[in-house]
């Protein structure tokens, strides 16, 4: 397909002013996705999906709170203006730096292992904790995004609740929260299972005040994908909350924990076509971006919509083309299936200098970037009310080499 604008701004102008590759986010889409979930009392953004502090600040000003999975994400959240009480540390371990920050800021924690309970209790006896429970089943669009069942490292195994309560009691910790998340791309059948599991476990937690069913809200990447039925999704969780409150005889606060749902469709990776070449029966369009910018295709075989913005007149022909990156790596292909199988995409015929946009790149895009092949991280731009604003500069050669030293005796 052809596309010439993002958020009302010309793609050519974005490429000219900020260079390529460049990530561009449409503020209006982020705000709409937040509004979609207004039926939930608490929206907690899984910032690992897109953690630029400008994006985090935008969400904070719209009433969204966040989680953090590392010391770095704690620093990001605080820099973006969140209060410590608005940040929940969710992980399966405490690295030493994260634990020190949590102790210092009295930050809420969501424990995904028995060792976390003990380590936290030793430092912070008498405080409150949330338990992340692995219910024994999971679901996801890829095995690598399945976060439940015995094949997943995440959460405390559901048969160990008694051990959790005993560990908490040892350190006078109150278990006030319960969290279940079984994977990305969960459907309503699996979410109903999560709700039932939450209710069953909740009956064993006398101090419970809040629950989270995690995130995993699907994003339509392929043309045939249907958007999430937000009304049905919200109703499912509100019904779960009501059933739990009736069973327990008290009010329970409900959280939803979206990550990619809030940002995926808002993000775009603009890149330039730098070569078009024949390889046997395949035609390859090679870009100045690579999996150092967008790793989802090589990691998961993920599909991203692709559009072309020609430098000249719109082409009248289409072609079946493999879209590849610029890295010295055979797996650097943006049109591939899980397992690394190369696929073609029917796109307008391209030539060197045309601009190509990989859409739905706002979640797990920039945040999974790397300096592989000593490539700089791309800049990030937020389009707000038709105006592009630079929210992260492109790395320089000096940035890439900072911190490295050649010993004098070499």
Give me the tens of pLDDT residue by residue for the chain, a chain 410 residues long: 899 999 999 999 999 999 999 999 999 999 999 999 999 999 999 999 999 999 999 999 999 999 999 999 999 999 999 999 999 999 999 999 999 999 999 999 999 999 999 999 999 999 999 999 988 765 444 444 444 567 778 899 988 999 999 999 999 999 999 998 766 555 677 778 888 888 989 999 999 999 998 888 889 999 999 898 999 999 999 999 999 999 999 999 999 999 999 999 999 999 999 999 999 999 999 999 999 999 999 999 999 999 999 999 999 899 999 999 999 999 999 999 988 999 999 999 999 999 999 999 999 999 999 999 999 999 999 999 999 999 999 999 999 999 999 999 99
Give the domain extent around 147: 38-257
Is 201:136 a contact under the CB 8 Å cutoff? no
> Would residue 409 count as lying in a domain?
no
pLDDT of residue 25: 98
Kindly state whether residue 6 falls inside one of the protein's structural domains. Answer: no
Does the active-site annotation cover 360? no
Helix pair angle (230-248, 188-202), 10° resolution:
20
> Which pLDDT does position 158 carry in this prediction?
87
404 lies in a domain?
no
Q: What is the CATH number of the domain that holds 373?
A: 2.40.37.10
Question: Which of 239, 257, 275 represents a domain boundary (last residue)?
Answer: 257
What is the helix, strand, coil percentage profile of the chain, to 5? 30, 25, 40
Pair 249, 358 in one domain: no
Is 100 within the bounds of a domain? yes
For 47, half-sphere exposure in the C-beta direction (CA atoms, 13 angstrom radius) is 32
Q: Could you tell me if 199 and 84 lie in one domain? A: yes
Residue 25 in domain:
no
111, 124, 309, 328: the active-site residue: 328
Q: How far apart are CA 7 and CA 388, in angstroms?
A: 9
Are residues 44 and 117 both part of a single domain? yes
Q: How far apart are CA 33 and CA 48, in angstroms?
A: 17
In a domain, 175, yes or no: yes
Sequence-separated (6 or more) residues with CB below 8 Å from residue 365: 23, 50, 267, 269, 293, 294, 296
Same domain, residue pair 302 and 239: no
Residues 72 and 221 in one domain: yes
Domain limit, last residue, from 226, 257, 288: 257
Domain count, the chain: 2
pTM recorded for the entire structure:
0.94
Q: What is the pLDDT of residue 196?
A: 86
Tell me, yes or no, whether 66 and 107 share the same domain: yes
Secondary structure tally for the chain: helices H, strands E: 12, 22
Same domain? 343 vs 368 = yes
Residues 170 and 210 in one domain: yes
Asked, for residue 4, whether it belongs to a domain, the answer is no
- Asked which of 231, 257, 283 is the last residue of a domain, the reply is 257
- Angstrom CA distances, 42 to 39, 197, 251, 252, 257, stand at 9, 20, 14, 12, 9
Tell me whether residue 158 is in a domain. Answer: yes
pLDDT (0 to 100) of residue 160: 93
* CATH number for position 196: 3.20.20.10
Beta strands in 267-317 (DSSP E): 267-279, 282-287, 306-309
> Ramachandran region of residue 386, left (φ > 0), alpha (ψ -120 to 50) or beta?
left
Asked if 237 contacts 188 with a C-beta cutoff of 8 angstroms, the reply is no
Query: Is there a single domain that holds both residue 241 and residue 326?
Result: no
Do residue 377 and residue 273 come from a single domain?
A: yes
**82 and 227 inside one domain:** yes
**Are residue 46 and residue 166 in the same domain, yes or no?**
yes
């Amino acid at each position: 397909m052809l596309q010439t604008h993002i958020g009302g701004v010309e793609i050519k102008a974005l490429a000219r002013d900020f260079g390529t590759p460049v990530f561009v986010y449409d503020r209006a889409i982020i705000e709409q996705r937040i509004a979609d979930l207004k039926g939930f009392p608490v929206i907690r953004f899984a910032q690992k999906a897109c953690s630029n502090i400008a994006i985090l600040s935008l969400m904070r000003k719209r009433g969204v709170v966040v989680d953090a999975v590392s010391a770095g994400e704690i620093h990001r959240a605080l820099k973006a203006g969140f209060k410590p009480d608005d940040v929940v540390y969710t992980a399966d371990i405490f690295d030493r730096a994260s634990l020190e920050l949590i102790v210092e800021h009295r930050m809420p924690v969501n424990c995904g292992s028995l060792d976390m309970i003990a380590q936290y209790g030793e430092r912070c006896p008498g405080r409150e904790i949330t338990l992340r429970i692995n219910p024994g089943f999971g679901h996801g669009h890829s095995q690598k995004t399945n976060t439940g069942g015995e094949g997943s490292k995440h959460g405390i195994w559901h048969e160990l609740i008694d051990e959790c309560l005993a560990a908490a009691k040892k350190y006078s910790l109150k278990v006030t929260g319960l969290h279940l998340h079984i994977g990305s791309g969960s459907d309503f059948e699996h979410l109903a299972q999560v709700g039932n599991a939450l209710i069953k476990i909740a009956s064993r937690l006398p101090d419970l005040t809040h629950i989270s069913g995690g995130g995993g809200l699907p994003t339509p990447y392929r043309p045939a994908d249907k958007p999430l039925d937000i009304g049905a999704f919200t109703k499912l969780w509100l019904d779960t909350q009501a059933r739990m409150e009736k069973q327990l005889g008290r009010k329970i606060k409900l959280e939803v924990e979206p990550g990619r749902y809030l940002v995926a469709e808002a993000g775009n990776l603009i890149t330039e076509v730098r070569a078009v070449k024949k390889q046997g029966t395949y035609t390859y369009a090679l870009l100045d971006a690579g999996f150092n910018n967008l790793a989802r295709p090589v990691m998961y075989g993920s599909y991203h919509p692709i559009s072309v913005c020609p430098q000249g007149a719109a082409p009248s022909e289409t072609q079946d083309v493999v879209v590849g990156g610029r890295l010295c790596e055979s797996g650097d292909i943006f049109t591939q299936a899980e397992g690394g199988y190369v696929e073609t995409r029917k796109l307008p015929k391209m030539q060197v200098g045309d601009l190509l946009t990989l859409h739905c790149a706002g979640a797990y895009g920039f945040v999974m970037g790397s300096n592989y092949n000593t490539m700089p991280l791309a800049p990030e731009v937020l389009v707000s009310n038709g105006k592009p604003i630079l929210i992260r500069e492109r790395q320089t050669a000096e940035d890439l080499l900072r911190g490295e030293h050649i010993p004098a005796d070499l």
